[in-house]
Chain A
Amino acid sequence: MAVKPSDYPPPWRASDAIAAPSDPADERIDVGVLVVGAGPAGLACAIRLGQLLEQDPATAERLGDVPVAVLEKGKQPGSHLLSGAVVNPRALQRLFRGRKRLDELPFLGPVDAESVLFLTRRGAYRIPTPPTMMNHGNHVASLSQLARWLAEEAEAAGAAILPETAAEKLLVADGRVRGVRTGDRGRGRNGEELGNFEPGSDVVARVTVLAEGTQGHLTGAALERFGLEGDDPQVWALGVKEVWRVAKPLDRVIHTMGWPLRGGAKYREFGGSFVYPMGEDMVTLGMVVGLDYRDAELSVHDLLQELKTHPRIRRILEGGERLEWGAKTIPEGGFVSLAKRLHAPGLLIAGDGAGFVNVPALKGIHYAVETGRLAAEAAWAALQRGTTPSTPGALQGYDDSVRASWVWQDLKRVRNMRQAFGRGFWLGGALAGAMTATRGAFPPGNAHTHRDAEQPLFRTDRARRYPAPDGKLTFDKLSSVYLSGNKTRDDQPNHIRIERRVPVPLAEMWVRMCPAQVYELGEGHGDGSVTVEVTPSNCVQCGAITAKGGRLTPPEGGSGPEYQRT
């Protein structure tokens, strides 16, 4: 019987991330609206709230000294953000209507030309750009930089941004969300209090907006606690990318399909690569692979290294230097996996955490901004009416506005495309073409997703083909982690929950899967099982482990990568 990761669940339950407020009332931190996550969704929400409260001093007054606060687990906003990214500016233009011109947004350049290539080991064949992937009018950006810019705008709009602060528990009392509890700092490896120990605190709010992004820690717990999960399970892809300084400018955005992924349906290797220019002297390139893959030897990190040896790609990087590296998961379930409801009493969920990503278009940042903005409007409407946002239904306006928006329409139209590729590259491509032509009408109904962790594992000998790192074009995982800026304190408690003793194929899958060399094979037990050794301080919090049978929880605030240009 083939091993499935889901047969070895992690020692973690959603209830571990939910608690009642415990600090005495005078020690709680009181804020008006609490946003968890300083990404595009959370910051758009904070900015919109600032705009609305500026026009409405009476409501602002009622929200107290800190009307809007944003918690961020990274060293600063953007530290944990990574994307391609080609951004559709539509949502940002709406957010800043009348306040910022398009050329004031921190983009690195418009998309002037684009190519979609089908790769074989040595060849590259240009194929027509699928309509969903056309990028005319879109702009290249670094999401990490964009967030730092948005954070400045949010602060200017009156929001308090609290970096290096992990939201560890969702505070729930009487069935209503009251805020979050922040993580302790200064605990040792076994949880003991070190000299610099600082306990977390209860941050209580009238409305809590979860904008945690992919694999949100509290979002996952909230979806389960309030029964908000979509009809189909969420599935993810893992993206690994690098930023290079290059000798000559790249004149177009490039997407590739095919090699080094395999097209056969049995492999379930859905994905591709991207190469984008970042101004005159930098490019960014990355590899994205659906985590429903089955080959225990598949490593997205090493597939990216392999991709760079392709003559067409090597040519772009020739004479250049790798500057930065990072990895992140992407929710890929789309429409069928969206949270059934986007609110609960006192709670709103926006952005990637709720599943707002358009896989065929390779985009989600604009949905994050738009849903963040709509969350702000719904929160403000409830507060302004004087209703208690924690009464059931008080925040229904958010769901209504999202369902009426272009975000919903977009996602509905492409709802079945990702799943079609579970049937192999060629058939999937043909079906996707038909779906585009009929604007999603064909085939009728919804195709279903299956949990990534339920895919049975097998092994091929693909690891043999990964190139040996040469330190110039191709690199080992530890060198990559170094370029993520990760310098996490080693002697803190392990934040990764996995079953430590598992069958060898599952352990091997984790070792290969993790782009940051967190897992290693430990001692074998002679019965086909092995102990998995974990190095949590390497972790760049991509979230792949949660998709593939474990659970990522937030480490001490300020840990993890310090992305600058990803």
Chain B
Amino acid sequence: MKTLVFLEHHDGELQAGSLGVLAKAGRLGGEVAGVVLGKGARAAAAQAGGTVYVSEAPELEAPLPQPRVDALAQLVREQGFDTLLFAASVLSADVAAGLAARLDAGLNWDLVDLVEQDGQLVGKRPALQDSVYVDVGWTSEPRLALIRSGTFDAEEAAGEAQVEELDVSFEDFSTRARMLEQAHEESSGPSIEDAEVIVAGGRGLGAPDKFTLVEELAKALGGAVGATRAVVDAGWYPYQHQIGQTGKTVSPKLYVACGISGAIQHKVGMQSAGTIVAINKDANAPIFEFADLGVVGDLHAIVPKLTELVRERRGS
């Protein structure tokens, strides 16, 4: 097996998800290399180990997929890679799909594991709302796979990266698209996907202004704020904080659920949290069936006290 891992970087900083996939590729064995493209690629490549192909060609400056498809297709042609792995992101999904079309290759997506079974590479893909795992394979080479974000942890790079410069020849049609504008959402505190602690609020808060209780506790714990669909729907909190089936999937070390009943639609977005603490006045709320610590009581009294205690302990 000769594997190439697409390493995504933002401003020269390699993404943890890509490094996780690189570590996984190393464990699968065979020859493994990475590829970093665009401005800052050389600096980023140093953060990985092993062979890393780089190109800082101006055509690769904007995060657009087609020029990257050119680079990867060329690597497959010239170096004979038979397996290409991507950590799923908006850009890498575009690149993987474009590459699959270019090479007429099979692409499996949303994988949460890769194993070798009877000499064959087999991907594991959750289906039916993550209730079962499906084994997926490829009928031809090269094999393309998109790995669900956050699946594999990054590992310390073993040794220095061996950087190989890549001279990409671009197709005419690949450079037609132009990036007009890039916008970043500014947020203070950790984003909810990366946060180790999340304090989330539901309808049990009673009113939109009561979200300050949740925000205060999150701040004291150094965590992020989450919300249920019901309160986002009601306009109490912005959509980017929504956790659940139609929001974000999170797995913090600590999840504090305030006034959240724990409907299945919410549960599927946070059930893999390390420790789940639930505060709810309804003792029959489904959340108590899967919380590690359940507090039946009035969150309006409990949460401010808790915040105060956390602040005292932390001496802030």
Verify B233–A535 contact, CB threshold 8 A. Answer: yes
B204 CB to nearest A CB, Å: 15
Assess whether B242 is in contact with A482, with CB atoms less than 8 Å apart.
no
Contact indicator A488/B246 (Cβ below 8 Å): yes
Given A487-B129, A490-B232, A490-B233: 19 more A-B contacts, CB < 8 Å: A471-B286, A471-B289, A478-B264, A479-B264, A481-B265, A482-B129, A482-B245, A482-B263, A482-B264, A482-B265, A487-B246, A490-B242, A490-B246, A491-B239, A535-B230, A535-B233, A537-B229, A537-B233, A564-B128
Contacts of B247 in A (CB 8 A): 490
Least CB distance from B265 to A in Å reads: 6
Complex interface residues of chain B between 244 and 297 (CB less than 8 A to chain A): 245-247, 263-265, 286, 289
What is the chain B residue whose CB lies nearest that of A195?
A: B183
Q: How far is the CA of A338 from the CA of B245 in the complex (A)?
A: 41
Q: Which residues of B contact A537 (CB under 8 A)?
A: 229, 233, 246
6 contacts between A and B (CB under 8 A): A471-B286, A482-B265, A489-B246, A490-B233, A491-B239, A564-B128
- Are B129 and A485 in touch, CB under 8 angstroms? yes
Inter-chain CA distance A490–B264, complex, in Å, is: 16
Residue of B nearest to A481 (CB): B265
Binary interface encoding of chain A residues 483-502 relative to chain B, with 1 for a CB under 8 A from any of its CBs, else 0: 00101111100000000000
User: Which residues does chain A contribute within 8 Å of B265, judged by CB atoms?
Assistant: 478, 481-482
A471 to B264, CA, bound (A): 11
Contacts of A471 in B (CB 8 A): 286, 289
Task: Using C-beta atoms within 8 Å of the partner chain, give the interface range for chain A.
Answer: 10 to 19
Q: Output the least CB separation between A393 and chain B (Å).
A: 49
A482 to B245, CA, bound (A): 9
Interface 1/0s, chain B 15-54, versus A by CB < 8 A? 0000000000000000000000000000000000000000
Residues of B close to A478: CB separation below 8 A:
263-265
Least CB distance, A193 to chain B, in whole angstroms: 15
The chain B residue sitting closest to A536, CB to CB, is: B233
Q: Tell me, in angstroms, the Cα distance from A487 to B289 when the chains sit together.
A: 23
CA distance A490 to B234 in the complex (A): 11
A491 to B247, CA, bound (A): 10
For the complex, give the distance between the alpha carbons of A488 and B265 in Å. 11
Interface size grouping (class) on chain B = 10 to 19
| Set of chain B residues within 8 Å of A491, measured between Cβ atoms | 239
Chain B 197-239 interface residues, beta-carbon cutoff 8 Å to A: 229-230, 232-234, 239
Contacts of B128 in A (CB 8 A): 485, 564
Query: What is the bound-complex CA distance between A491 and B263, given in angstroms?
Result: 19
Chain B residues with CB under 8 A of A485? 128-129
The complex places the Cα of A535 from the Cα of B229 at a distance, in Å, of 10
Q: Shortest Cβ distance from B59 into chain A, in angstroms?
A: 24
Contacting residues, chain B, for A482 (C-beta < 8 A): 129, 245, 263-265
A538 CB to closest chain B CB (Å) equals: 9
Picked from A479, A487, A489, A490, the residue with its CB within 8 Å of the CB of B263 is A479
C-alpha gap A489/B232 in the complex (Å): 13
- By beta carbon, the residue of chain A nearest B247 is A490
What residues of chain A lie closer than 8 Å to B246, measured between beta carbons?
487-490, 537
B129 neighbours in A (Cβ, 8 Å): 482, 485, 487
B248 CB, nearest partner CB in chain A, Å:
12
In the complex, what residue of chain B is closest to A475 when comparing beta carbons? B264
Q: Which residue of B lies closest to A489 (CB)?
A: B246
Quick one: which of A476, A490, A533 contacts B229, CB cutoff 8 A? A490
Do A490 and B286 form a contact, CB below 8 Å, given A478-B265, A479-B263? no
Kindly list chain A residues whose C-beta atoms are within 8 Å of the C-beta of B229.
490, 535, 537
Measured between alpha carbons, how far is A246 from B287 in the docked complex, in Å?
Answer: 27
State how many angstroms separate the Cβ of A500 from the closest Cβ of chain B: 14
Cα–Cα distance between A482 and B130 once the two chains are bound (Å): 12
A450 to B211, CA, bound (A): 49
Cα distance, A235 to B264, chains bound together (Å): 34
Q: Which residue of A lies closest to B289 (CB)?
A: A471
Interchain CA distance A535-B233 in the complex, whole Å: 7
Closest to B266 in A: A478
Residue with the highest number of chain A CB atoms closer than 10 Å, among B232, B242, B246, B289? B246
Residues of B within 8 A of A487 (CB): 129, 245-246
**Complex contacts, A479 vs chain B, CB 8 Å:** 263-264
Interface string of A455-488 (1 = CB under 8 A from B): 0000000000000000100001011011001011
CB distance from B121 to the nearest CB of A (A): 28
Question: Taking CB as reference atom, which chain B residue is nearest A188?
Answer: B239
What is the CA–CA distance of A308 and B240 in the complex, to the nearest angstrom? Answer: 40
* B residues in contact with A490, CB < 8 Å: 229, 232-233, 239, 242, 246-247
CB A492 to nearest CB in B, in angstroms, measures: 11
Whole-angstrom distance between the Cβ of A556 and the nearest chain B Cβ: 13
Q: Which 3 pairs across A and B sit closest by C-beta, in order of nearness?
A: A478-B263, A482-B264, A490-B246
Interface string of A345-374 (1 = CB under 8 A from B): 000000000000000000000000000000
A 12-52 to B, binary, CB cutoff 8 A, 1 in contact else 0: 00000000000000000000000000000000000000000
Closest residue of B by beta carbon distance from A485: B129
A327 shortest CB reach to chain B, Å: 17
Q: Within 8 Å CB of A533, what residues of B? A: 234
- Complex Cα distance, B286 from A108, in Å, reads 36
Alpha-carbon distance A183/B248, docked complex (angstroms): 27
> Taking the nearest CB of chain B, how far is it from the CB of A562, in angstroms?
10
Closest-CB distance, B30 to chain A (whole angstroms): 37
Residues of B within 8 A of A476 (CB): 263
CA of A535 to CA of B263 in the docked complex: distance in angstroms?
15
CB-nearest residue of chain B relative to A478?
B263
Residue in chain B with minimal CB distance to A491: B239
